């Protein structure tokens, strides 16, 4: 610093000194903010040390990547509620039960999960498992064309490619036929979506808009948050939830992944209203407006036969606006409820300490805990970090399998015993656990659970258990990259 100052004029020196002093003061203030606001003590200490020692470098990184709380989301819902109280009350009724009050009548895993997440159960639904892109897009387009009153859709990624244009055409036709069509997309996930595509659907009458995480002065640095949900609601009666976005790659139409392994679920029944409530909450944030066409039934759902699990489901909507770590609580609850097996399929493996502890406790009880991740990478930092956690889990006796069948494995699925399956958008990584708005559908229907179990058995059959000996055989640059990538795991 002294050498640099010697080369500057007196006025330049003063400017530099003011800048350095201001940056140092901002670094100290931000370090205090980190100590008070960052969720884990380890991360708080790391940020505080960096902000004090290297404020010029760390300060912008902290305000973009260090935030774990999404500001303003609940305020937006309250703002809409001031003018549309009945609608917002309906959303709360569909999504939330009374906090810290056990309401479950049984001790099934689904009942316990619903209690932990303060989310209500839904009965008398029917389900269809959608395995891979062909089944997903066929059902998606069919459901859009069948809509009579309104369509709500939310995707993280939409492409202007062959399937993206077919998707747009279906939306345009329903909008032109007088159906209300509302589409939310994530502005980061859809950064490559063309203006031509957006103009086409907008001109046809589709209410299309970005989720817009950076609304308001207080949210200007919220670049690191994502709306990762994928959902479709048709007339408040039918819905689709899963891990697929809209793009040709999800049909295996890309060279590096000629087969895209993914899963979604189609539901017909009352739980569709709860998925609709998730969309409504996000729409309130994005627009500060109501959904006047939405149908909210207040008729109580009856349980046909006591103890009957057919058609039971619960919506697990989590995100950075939560005041609890509900995504982590979801995984931990399922791990504690498992009695025989706990199988998890996730394209990314960057679990937090709480998830690792819950999984290791389940394994210590003799549960068949296993995790399936892809062999190929679509995000290199996350992929490399996964090697570290793979070895850590192996040391705890939890095998990690890599999907070796041709293509890429992208599904997010959790199976507990023979009585509960979760399918949706939540990965087993820090971003899904703490930074993304996510959605999983938990289903206790025996037929669907059995079908999902058979699906996972086939996936594991074409996978390889990569134990620690494989790790020692990896090239040195992969091992070094794994160590470096692990340092970035809090923001991956």
| CATH at 410 | 3.30.870.10
Q: Tell me which of 242, 271, 300 is where a domain ends.
A: 300
Is 111 inside any structural domain?
Answer: no
Active site residue 33: no
pLDDT tens readout for residues 274-292 = 999 999 999 999 999 999 9
How many structural domains comprise the chain? 3
Q: Are 437 and 322 in contact (CB under 8 A)?
A: no
pTM of the model: 0.87
Check if 186 is active-site: no
192 catalytic per annotation? no
Is the residue at 141 inside a domain? yes
Catalytic residue among 33, 68, 274, 412: 412
Residue 5: is its pLDDT beyond 50? no
Kindly report, residue by residue over 350-398, the tens digit of the pLDDT.
999 899 999 999 999 999 999 999 988 777 777 787 888 888 899 999 9
Q: Chain centroid to CA 18: how far? A: 43
Q: Are 250 and 133 spatial neighbours (Cβ–Cβ below 8 Å)?
A: yes
CA 365 to each of CA 216, 342, 361, 417, 438: distance values in angstroms, whole numbers, following the listed order? 48, 12, 6, 14, 29
For residue 412, indicate whether it is catalytic.
Answer: yes
Q: What pLDDT, in 10s, does the model give residues 441-467?
A: 999 999 999 999 999 999 999 998 865
Which of 242, 232, 227, 226 is closest to 167 using CA atoms? 232
Provide the CB-side half-sphere exposure for 78 (13 A, CA): 4
Q: Which of the following is catalytic: 417, 429, 445, 459?
A: 417
In angstroms, the CA 354 to CA 360 distance is 10
Which residues neighbour 440 within 8 Å (Cβ) at sequence distance 6 or greater? 241, 315, 316, 318, 330, 412, 414, 422, 423, 424, 425, 426
Catalytic residue among 266, 274, 410, 434: 410
Claim to verify: residue 285 and residue 199 sit in the same structural domain: yes
Spatial contact of 334 and 414, defined as CB atoms under 8 Å apart: yes
402 belongs to a structural domain = yes
Asked, for residue 113, whether it belongs to a domain, the answer is no
Whether residues 244 and 331 fall in one domain: no
Are 375 and 424 within one domain?
Answer: yes
Residue 55 has pLDDT above 90, yes or no: no
Domain holding 136, by residue range, is: 73-96+125-300
| Residue range 104-132, pLDDT digits in tens | 556 789 999 999 999 999 999 999 999 99
Per-residue confidence (pLDDT) for residue 303, from 0 to 100:
52
Same domain flag for 60 and 78: no
Q: Are residues 164 and 237 in the same domain?
A: yes
Kindly name the residue from 33, 68, 228, 434 that is annotated as catalytic. Answer: 228
* Whether residues 363 and 219 fall in one domain: no
Catalytic residue among 111, 160, 186, 235: 235
Q: Tell me the C-alpha distance between 87 and 93, whole Å.
A: 10
Told to judge if 230 belongs to the known catalytic residues of this protein, a careful annotator would answer yes
Q: Is 152 helix (H, G, I), strand (E, B) or coil?
A: strand
């Amino acid at each position: 610093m002294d050498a640099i100052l010697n080369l500057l004029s007196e006025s330049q020196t003063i400017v530099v000194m003011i800048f350095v002093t201001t940056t140092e003061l901002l670094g100290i203030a931000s370090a205090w903010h980190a100590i008070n606001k960052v969720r884990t003590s380890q991360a708080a200490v790391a940020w505080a040390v960096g902000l004090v020692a290297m404020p010029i470098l760390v300060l912008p990184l902290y305000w973009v990547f260090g935030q774990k709380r999404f500001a303003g989301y609940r305020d937006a819902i309250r703002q809409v509620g001031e003018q549309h109280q009945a609608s917002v009350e309906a959303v709360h009724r569909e999504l939330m039960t009374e906090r810290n009050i056990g309401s479950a009548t049984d001790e099934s895993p689904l009942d316990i999960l619903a209690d932990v997440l303060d989310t209500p159960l839904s009965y008398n639904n029917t389900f269809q498992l959608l395995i891979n892109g062909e089944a997903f897009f066929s059902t998606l387009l069919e459901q859009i064309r069948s809509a009579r009153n309104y369509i709500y859709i939310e995707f993280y990624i939409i492409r202007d490619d062959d399937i993206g244009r077919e998707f747009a055409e279906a939306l345009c036709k329903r909008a032109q036929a007088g159906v209300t069509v509302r589409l939310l997309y994530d502005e980061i996930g859809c950064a490559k979506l063309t203006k031509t595509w957006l103009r086409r659907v907008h001109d046809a009458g589709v209410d299309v808009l970005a989720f817009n995480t950076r609304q308001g002065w207080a949210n200007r640095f919220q670049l690191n948050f994502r709306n990762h949900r994928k959902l479709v609601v048709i007339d408040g009666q039918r819905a689709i939830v899963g891990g697929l976005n809209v793009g040709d790659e999800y049909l295996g139409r890309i060279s590096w992944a000629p087969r895209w392994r993914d899963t979604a679920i189609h539901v017909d029944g009352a739980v569709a209203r709860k998925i609709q409530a998730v969309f409504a909450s996000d729409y309130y944030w994005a627009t500060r407006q109501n959904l006047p066409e939405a149908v909210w039934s207040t008729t109580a759902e009856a349980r046909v036969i006591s103890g009957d699990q057919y058609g039971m489901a619960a919506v697990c909507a989590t995100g950075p606006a939560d005041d609890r770590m509900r995504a982590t609580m979801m995984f931990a609850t399922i791990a504690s409820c498992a009695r025989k097996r706990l199988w998890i399929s996730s394209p990314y493996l960057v679990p937090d300490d709480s998830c690792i502890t819950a999984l290791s406790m389940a394994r210590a009880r003799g549960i068949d805990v296993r995790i399936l991740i892809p062999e190929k990478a679509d995000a290199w930092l996350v992929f490399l970090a996964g090697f570290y956690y793979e070895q850590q889990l192996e040391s705890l006796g939890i095998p990690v399998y890599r999907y070796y069948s041709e293509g890429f494995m992208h599904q997010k699925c959790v199976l507990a015993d023979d009585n509960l399956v979760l399918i949706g958008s939540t990965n087993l990584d820090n971003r899904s656990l703490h930074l993304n708005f996510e959605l999983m559908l938990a289903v206790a229907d025996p037929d669907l659970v059995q079908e999902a179990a058979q699906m996972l058995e086939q996936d594991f059959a074409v996978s390889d258990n990569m134990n620690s000996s494989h790790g020692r055989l990896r090239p040195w640059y992969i091992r070094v990259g794994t160590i470096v990538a692990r340092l970035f795991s809090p923001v991956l």
